[in-house]
A and B are shown apart, each in its own frame.
Chain A
Amino acid sequence: MNNVRRITFREALREALSEEMRRDENVIMLGEDIGEYGGGFRVTEGMIDEFGSGRILETPISETAFTGMATGAAITGMRPVVEYMFSDFMGVCFDQIMNEAAKVHYIYNGNYSVPMVIRSASGAGTGAAAQHSQSLENMYCHVPGLKVVMPSTPYDAKGLMKTAIRDNDPVIFLEDKLLYDTEGEVPEAEYTIPLGVADLKKKGRDITLITYGRMTGMCLEAAEMLKVKEGIEAAVLDLRSLLPLDRDAIIASVAETGRALIVHEAVKFAGFGAEILSTIMESRAFYKLKSPVRRLGAAFCPVPSAKKLEENVFPTPFSITDAAAELIKGV
């Protein structure tokens, strides 16, 4: 029964969506080309065969209209899952996310909830350039009323998606597009993962690498290099959800290691790393620090297209390794 298989991040998401649609007939999906075409990144492939066009609702390219529609449907009893082909496109409908979905519960005195998931492909690495490669999670985090999830493994993606669909508030679910083809172990049996609980992907006593999404894999690679090349034991803490944020896990790990390197793919300036850093500085972990806390993130420029240019603006396992080693050596 409790068999563990290796499946891709994409398959894990599809399983989560399908299982929840089977469990609750109020769960519907809205998005562009999510039917026969299977969605821009093939996450919903085949789902229309099982659930039909009455539940897999293919929308016109009108993000504002269908995001608002999802909010209205959520208010009145449905549990919509909205797909944007690229998270960059939230720019065309941010009003509906920021001013409407996020605020309905609060401004209308708790009379309504908005149980809605907005899922979208996020991040760079595909050469798709400035309007199809951004990591904009921090913009959502600045809006009270939203929840923000960014998984790094197929296991987490499935468990978190199921929780997000069952959650009674709007959840922004960001899927790093380079993770879709990655494989990982996922049990066949039902499970969920609560929002707001970080996962220590690797233990270590010398430094905590705090990260989320696709950078988690890079941090694990960096941790391996640090061990082999420098004899440094780095812990890797994967936040999994940014809002709610597992501050306790950050503080506990940094208090133990005394060092922190924060790594994200989003632009470093005013990025979510600043919130993580502040969490450390405002906590008891501050007194345990043996070195400054550092952040690695994208350069302050729109994402370029050419392979080398693109690689040059983001953290890599090498830059993470170097930064961590510098912190420890006091360079």
Chain B
Amino acid sequence: MSYDVLTREISNDFYKELLYRMIKVNRFETELLRLQNEGKVHGTLHLCVGEEASVVGSTAALKKDDYIFTTHRGHGESIGKGADIRLIMAEILGKTGSSNRGIGGSMHVTAPEVGVVGSNGVVGASVPISLGAALTIKLKKIPDRVSVCFFGDGAANQGAVLESMNLAGAWKLPVIFVLIENGYAVSTRPEEASADPDFVKRAMPFKLNPFDVDGDDVLKVLYTVAKAREMVLSGAGPCLIVEHTYRISGHSRSDVNSYRSTEEIETHIKNDPIKRYTDYLISNGFFGAEELEAVKRSAEEEVKAAVSYALSRPDADMGAEELERLVYSDDHDRRAL
């Protein structure tokens, strides 16, 4: 089960693994939606149904030690990079035995053991931070490692992102900007918010290597990110990848989809990235339908097991004093207060 970045050879098992991951992301998100409807999620959720090819393809092209910085809609990339979904599920349900002890919730998922520095609740804010990881890689001459930041078409217009693109270009930092153009920033379409919604053009003034890819084609995404990673490592400078996809999920808990039609959403559901990839694998004779059905079932099992694990954990319940002790690295004696 491997993907060789250099030869771009995908083993048979890895074709299956990509599908497995996409279904895992999808079921993780849909299970969360169900749990939220049952009143079991205290916080808000930003789900990525419809973006499975983008998040899985992008992260599959990276190595474990590559740093990734994700957004408020960050479950998918974290799962794709290999985060333990039991810990994330427990975190989102506010449980102990979770990735952040209930402190972070959905928007601050972290999995340092697989390079997921963390997801971030402020639109665009993790992008400058990703430059710092790239700076460390550059200054310490760490081989075979890149820093990758994910952000949306909404964040693309944040000053933080534009400043970061300039700085990365000016200093040739080993960073990959992955702009996920998913149709809407909450309810605003890219053409409503951007002077020119053809975001890949933004690579030009900042000397980023530009890539523009169908974000619903997991293999194309994988190849593109792998190519970008190679370029960064070869010293060609930072890259900007625009991945075009569609957010089937609502923006968050409060979204009633007033800004788009049911038909529009239905159209995308009918041809979602998982279906596209499944059809591709079957029609090209990679696998039979039953074989892929088994992949689907095992991904579903893993998510169900994560839900059972999370629900079985006691609620997070630290007192205020205990929480105060977690604010600083050094001052655990509360001298700071």
Spell out A's residues near B (CB within 8 Å). Answer: 28, 54, 59-60, 62, 64-78, 80, 95-96, 99-100, 104-115, 144-145, 147, 167-169, 196, 243-245
Contacts and interface: CB of A to CB of B under 8 A. Distances in A.
A251 B136 CA distance: 44
A147 B337 CA distance: 10
B106 to A, nearest CB: 12
Contacts of A105: 326-329
B139 interface: yes
B218 interface: no
Given A60-B166, A64-B159, A65-B160, A144 B101 contact: no
B170 interface: yes
B335 interface: yes
Contact of A169 (B110, B131, B132, B330): B330
Interface residues of B, number: 48
Contact of A244 (B140, B163, B164, B336): B336
Contacts of B328: 105, 145, 147, 168-169
B141 to A, nearest CB: 11
Nearest 8 CB-CB pairs, A to B?
A72-B132, A68-B128, A65-B163, A73-B132, A168-B329, A72-B129, A62-B163, A76-B136
Contacts of A167: 330
A62 B331 CA distance: 31
A105 B336 CA distance: 15
A96 B110 contact: no
B129 A75 contact: yes
A137 B132 CA distance: 25
B103 A106 contact: yes
B67 interface: yes
A95 B117 contact: no
Contacts of B127: 68
Interface of B: 67, 69, 99-101, 103-104, 108, 110, 112, 117-118, 120-122, 125-137, 139-140, 147, 159-160, 163-164, 166-167, 170, 324, 326-331, 335-337
Contacts of A104: 118
Given A108-B104, A169-B330, A71 B132 contact: yes
Given A64-B159, A107-B118, A112 B112 contact: yes
Contact of B335 (A95, A107, A115, A244): A244
A100 B129 CA distance: 9
Nearest to B127: A68
Contacts of B331: 169, 244
Contacts of A68: 125-129, 131-132, 160, 164
Contact of B133 (A60, A75, A243): A75
Given A65-B128, A72-B128, A106-B103, 9 more contacts: A28-B139, A64-B163, A69-B167, A72-B117, A77-B140, A107-B118, A108-B118, A147-B328, A168-B329
25 contacts: A68-B125, A68-B127, A68-B129, A69-B135, A71-B128, A72-B130, A72-B132, A72-B134, A72-B136, A73-B132, A73-B135, A73-B136, A74-B132, A77-B140, A95-B122, A100-B120, A100-B122, A107-B104, A108-B108, A112-B112, A112-B117, A113-B329, A114-B329, A144-B327, A196-B336
A54 B135 CA distance: 10
A112 B129 CA distance: 13
Interface centre among A76, A77, A100, A105 (most CB of B within 10 A): A76
Contacts of A245: 337
A67 B125 CA distance: 11
Nearest to B101: A109
B133 A106 contact: no
B196 to A, nearest CB: 22
Contacts of B69: 72
Nearest to B145: A76
A78 B130 CA distance: 14
A169 to B, nearest CB: 5
Count chain A CB atoms within 10 A of each CB in B128, B133, B135, B166 and give the residue with the most.
B128
A62 B122 contact: no
A144 B336 CA distance: 9
A99 B125 contact: yes
A290 B329 CA distance: 40
Contacts of B335: 196, 244
Contacts of A96: 125, 128-129, 160
